């Protein structure tokens, strides 16, 4: 009998894409849909990126390239790291790949054997669980509910790390938008120092999207001795409005970067020259687009929070980064909308989409079934209308 590998029985399609696809189908059928579902930045990179691509097309060699990334790309990423507060890395410490997701998958392959433990906070980005499942690793989940601002405490981390091979940390966080302060990072870094047998993966891809002057901070700045086992994951997707260009990076110990190069040599071989040219231009060119978008997202965050906070019983820690708001909407459970019973987050998101044409992602996709995720990168003009419908929906619950 022909069978797929056992690991495929553990692989699931992304729960986020299921909602996005339903919203797309309704839109195609003529419904007026406002999507707060998929986490795309919804802006384009600057003209210098397209100029670089046009230029690269005329010179494209069509040849295989470096498994690590071209020297120009590596140097551009090193400069980006330094500007983000992470100096001191060399080409041998970094590697490129097809987006942060690819880097995270390859890191998990490189660091985890079947049965090994990977620790991360809940709510989590959906893919973390899926990658652990595919690789047959054990995910040790640390609940961080709204009542603790969706943030991991040093005590929780300390209790969870014994026996863990990898700790995966996401800051700013998808889905909560929470950002750890300098003091919070320092306190967690102090705990990490006490557990020398655990690798630390920092999924920092929203590091340029931080509001309110909180700043982006990381464990290596707090405790430089962690540099030997902290791995940073970054990507062009969110910062530069280039999710479909698929460029991601890691920075960390040489052995880990080399493992990524080895994986690339067996999977993707290299990033295409034209994509590389776009990435070098984005990283090395003017940084005003990411800065302006960040300011725009902060203003949109304020609009969303004003509405969410005005709904009785909805609880929402104030996000300070990325482009997500993650309200606890469990006050609605047990109620009805137009006679339709709302038992949980999935019922609520389905009813909201059907009745109001507003697409949000159920919190259970992120391990927190009391909440839902609002991604607020829709066109600015659509946001007030989407929020109005969101508020109406809750006002109509009986």
Ligand X SMILES: Cc1ncc(COP(=O)(O)O)c(C=O)c1O
CB of 41 to ligand X, least distance (A): 10
Q: What whole-number distance in Å separates Cα of residue 341 and Cα of residue 335?
A: 6
Site stretch for ligand X (CB under 6 A), options 70-78, 87-95, 97-105, 187-195: 97-105
| Total number of residues shown for the chain | 398
Instruction: For CA atoms 244, 245, 246, 250, give the dihedral sign.
Output: negative
Burial string for 115-132 (b: 16+ CB within 10 Å, else e) reads ebbbbbbbbbbbbbbbbb
Coil, strand or helix at 397: strand
Q: What whole-number distance in Å separates Cα of residue 10 and Cα of residue 29?
A: 33
Site stretch for ligand X (CB under 6 A), options 28-36, 71-79, 111-119, 235-243: 235-243
The residue (of 180 and 394) whose beta carbon lies closer to ligand X is: 180
Interface with ligand X, residue 101, by CB under 6 A? yes
What string marks each residue from 309 to 348 as x (binds ligand X by CB under 6 A) or -?
----------------------------------------
Tally the C-alpha atoms within 13 A of residue 308's C-alpha that lie toward its C-beta.
24
Q: Which of 96, 237, 264, 330 binds ligand X (CB under 6 A)?
A: 237
CB of 174 to ligand X, least distance (A): 4
The residue written with tokens 């030997």 in the block is 228
What string marks each residue from 269 to 308 as x (binds ligand X by CB under 6 A) or -?
----------------------------------------
| Contact assessment for residue 243 and residue 40, using Cβ atoms and an 8 Å cutoff | yes
Q: What whole-number distance in Å separates Cα of residue 334 and Cα of residue 347?
A: 11
Q: Which of 15, 35, 39, 157 binds ligand X (CB under 6 A)?
A: 39
Interface with ligand X, residue 125, by CB under 6 A? yes
Residues 140 to 199: which contact ligand X by CB under 6 A? 170, 174
DSSP 334-353: TEEETTEEE-SHHHHHHHHH
The residue written with tokens 């071989």 in the block is 269
CB of 393 to ligand X, least distance (A): 26
Interface with ligand X, residue 205, by CB under 6 A? yes
The residue (of 270 and 330) whose beta carbon lies closer to ligand X is: 270
Interface with ligand X, residue 241, by CB under 6 A? no
Question: What are the structure tokens assigned to 87, written together?
Answer: 């100096």
Interface with ligand X, residue 235, by CB under 6 A? yes
Q: What whole-number distance in Å separates Cα of residue 186 and Cα of residue 78?
A: 24
CB of 258 to ligand X, least distance (A): 21
Closest C-alpha to 227, from 119, 117, 81, 83: 81
The residue (of 277 and 365) whose beta carbon lies closer to ligand X is: 365
CB of 170 to ligand X, least distance (A): 5
Interface with ligand X, residue 248, by CB under 6 A? yes
Site stretch for ligand X (CB under 6 A), options 18-26, 95-103, 252-260, 361-369: 95-103
The residue (of 172 and 317) whose beta carbon lies closer to ligand X is: 172
Q: What whole-number distance in Å separates Cα of residue 34 and Cα of residue 353?
A: 9
Q: How many Å separate Cα 133 from the centre of its chain?
A: 18
Question: What are the structure tokens assigned to 63, written together?
Answer: 């040849």
The residue (of 244 and 379) whose beta carbon lies closer to ligand X is: 244
CB of 173 to ligand X, least distance (A): 7
Binding site for ligand X (CB under 6 A): 39, 99-101, 125, 170, 174, 203, 205, 235, 237, 243, 248
């Amino acid at each position: 009998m022909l069978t797929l590998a056992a690991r495929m029985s553990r692989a699931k399609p992304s729960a986020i894409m299921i909602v996005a696809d339903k919203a797309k189908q309704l839109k195609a059928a003529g419904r007026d849909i406002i999507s707060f579902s998929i986490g795309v930045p919804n802006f384009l990179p600057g003209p210098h990126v397209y100029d670089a691509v046009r230029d690269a097309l005329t010179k494209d060699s069509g040849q295989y390239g470096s498994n690590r990334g071209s020297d120009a790309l590596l140097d551009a990423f090193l400069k980006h790291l330094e500007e983000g507060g992470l100096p001191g890395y060399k080409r041998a410490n970094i590697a490129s790949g097809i987006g942060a997701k690819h880097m995270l998958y390859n890191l998990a392959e490189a660091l985890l054997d079947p049965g090994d433990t990977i620790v991360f906070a809940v709510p989590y980005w959906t893919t973390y669980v899926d990658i652990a499942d595919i690789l047959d690793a054990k995910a040790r989940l640390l609940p961080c509910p709204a009542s603790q601002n969706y943030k991991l405490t040093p005590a929780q981390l300390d209790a969870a790390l014994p026996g863990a091979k990898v700790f995966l940390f996401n800051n700013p966080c998808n889905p909560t938008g929470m950002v750890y302060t300098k003091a919070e990072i320092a306190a967690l870094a102090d705990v990490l120092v006490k557990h020398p047998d655990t690798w630390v993966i920092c999924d920092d891809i929203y590091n340029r999207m931080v509001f309110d002057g909180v700043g982006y901070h990381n464990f290596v700045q707090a405790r430089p001795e962690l540099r030997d086992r902290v791995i940073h994951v970054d990507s062009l997707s969110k910062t530069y409005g280039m999710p479909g260009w698929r460029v991601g990076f890691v920075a960390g110990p040489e052995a880990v970067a080399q493992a990524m190069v080895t994986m690339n040599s067996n999977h993707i071989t290299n990033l295409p020259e034209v994509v590389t040219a776009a990435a070098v231009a984005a990283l090395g060119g003017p940084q005003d687009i990411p800065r302006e978008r960040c300011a725009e997202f902060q203003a949109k965050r304020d609009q969303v929070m004003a509405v969410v906070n005005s709904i009785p019983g909805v609880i929402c820690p104030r996000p300070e980064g990325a482009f997500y708001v993650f309200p606890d909407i469990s006050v609605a459970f047990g109620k009805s909308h137009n006679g339709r019973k709302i038992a949980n987050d999935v019922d609520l998101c389905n009813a909201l989409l059907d009745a109001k044409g507003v697409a949000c992602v159920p919190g259970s996709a992120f391990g927190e079934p009391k909440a839902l995720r609002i991604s607020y990168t829709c066109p600015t003009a659509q946001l007030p209308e989407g929020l109005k419908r969101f508020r109406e929906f809750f006002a109509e619950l009986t």
